[in-house]
Structure 1
Amino acid sequence: LAFEHAEYDLCILDVMMPRKDGFAVAQEIRKQNTEIPILFLTARNLLADKMQGFGLGGDDYLTKPFSMEELLLRIKALLRRRQGSAAAQAVSQFQLGKFSFDYVTRQLQWDDGAKRLTSREAELLRLLCLNMNQVLKRQDALLSIWGDDSYFNARSMDVFITKLRKYLKADPALEIMNVHGMGYKLIVVN
Structure 2
Amino acid sequence: MSKIHVLVVEDEPTLARIIKDALEANDFKVSLAADGVAGLEAFTQVTPNILVADIMMPQLSGLDMVRKIRETDRHTPILFLTAKSTVDDVVEGFHAGGNDYLKKPFGMKELMVRITALLGRITPTCVPQKEKIQIGNYRFDPGKRTLTYLPTGECHELPNRESEILQRLCQTPHAIVPAKDILLDLWGDDDFFSTRSFQTLISRLRRRLAKDPDVKLINQRREGYRLLY
Residue 48 of structure 1 corresponds to which residue in structure 2?
Answer: 107
1:1-190 to structure 2, matched below 5 A, reads 27-28=26-27, 47-54=106-113, 57-59=115-117, 85-89=124-128, 92-110=131-149, 111-112=151-152, 113-188=154-229
How many residue pairs match? The answer is 130
Q: Secondary structure at the match of 1:87?
A: coil
Structure 2 runs not aligned, ≥5 long: 1-21, 30-48, 50-104
Question: What is the CA–CA distance in structure 2 between the aligned matches of 1:171 and 1:143, rounded to whole Å?
Answer: 30
Structure 1 runs not aligned, ≥5 long: 1-22, 35-45, 61-80
TM-score normalised according to structure 2 size: 0.49
* Larger RCO of the pair (alpha carbons < 8 Å, separation 6+): 1
Deviates more, 1:84-93 or 1:115-124: 84-93
Question: What is the CA–CA distance in structure 2 between the aligned matches of 1:52 and 1:152, rounded to whole Å?
Answer: 17
Amino acid at match of 2:202: I
Question: What is the CA–CA distance in structure 1 between the aligned matches of 2:111 and 2:204, rounded to whole Å?
Answer: 33
Amino acid at match of 1:27: N
Question: What is the CA–CA distance in structure 2 between the aligned matches of 1:182 and 1:170, rounded to whole Å?
Answer: 26
Q: How much has 1:93 moved relative to structure 2?
A: 1.5
Task: Provide the alpha-carbon RMSD of the alignment.
Answer: 2.9
Q: How much has 1:146 moved relative to structure 2?
A: 1.4
Amino acid at match of 1:98: N
Q: How much has 1:184 moved relative to structure 2?
A: 0.4
Question: What is the CA–CA distance in structure 2 between the aligned matches of 1:91 and 1:132, rounded to whole Å?
Answer: 18
Amino acid at match of 2:140: F
Greater Rg by CA: 1
**Residue deviations 1:53-76, cap 9 Å, x none?**
236x4339xxxxxxxxxxxxxxxx
Which structure shows the bigger proportion of residues in helix conformation?
1
**Residue deviations 1:38-91, cap 9 Å, x none?**
xxxxxxxx8222344236x4339xxxxxxxxxxxxxxxxxxxx99x94232356
User: % of aligned pairs identical?
Assistant: 29
Question: What is the CA–CA distance in structure 1 between the aligned matches of 2:142 and 2:196, rounded to whole Å?
Answer: 23
Q: Secondary structure at the match of 2:143?
A: coil
Greater than 4 Å deviation, 4+ residue runs:
none
